[in-house]
Amino acid sequence: MSTTQSERLRGLLEPLVSAVDLDLEEIELSRAGRRRVLRVVVDSEEGVDLDACAELSRVISDKLDETDAMGEGEYQLEVTSPGAERPLKEPRHYVRAKGRLARFQLTTPEGEPAGELVARILDLDDDGLDLEVPGVKGRKPTVRRIAFGEIVKARVEIEFSRKDKKEEEA
């Protein structure tokens, strides 16, 4: 998608998404055979349910029909949430992932690759994150601080066997 079209779509869709108290995370336009697919990714502090996506899809579809933002030709509109293994890019993403396990690709201050780290996000501030690194071979977890500048890429990890906080307290 061209930058101009992306900016135009963002300008058109952002007010619609904000009006229903959601954040516009991403707009992606791709090809699927002869058709184009417009994928709109939204999120909020409380997450996004299927009903909210369906309602927003109707609102966006109506708005796109009123304008020539998509040009001529068929397209398919998808309104969705970021998913379970969401990428962490903005500070608000880290806030929403607090308490969750995440996989980080790190770099040194000189820009050299520093490997990968899987850790739980404990807290954050303007400069970086406090993480709990799981212990290896029965050792206790350790706390580690990383600056946002050290993070090349980050993504939430799915946990199938994590105990709920209520279970841990019982």
5-60 pLDDT, tens digit per residue, is: 888 899 999 999 999 999 999 999 888 888 899 999 999 888 889 999 999 999 99
Residue 130, pLDDT > 90, answer: yes
Q: Which long-range contacts (CB under 8 A, 24 or more apart) does 89-95 make?
A: 89/154, 91/124, 91/126, 92/23, 94/121, 94/124, 94/129, 94/154, 95/45, 95/124
How much is the average pLDDT of 119-135?
A: 95
Is 0.75 surpassed by the pTM of this model?
no
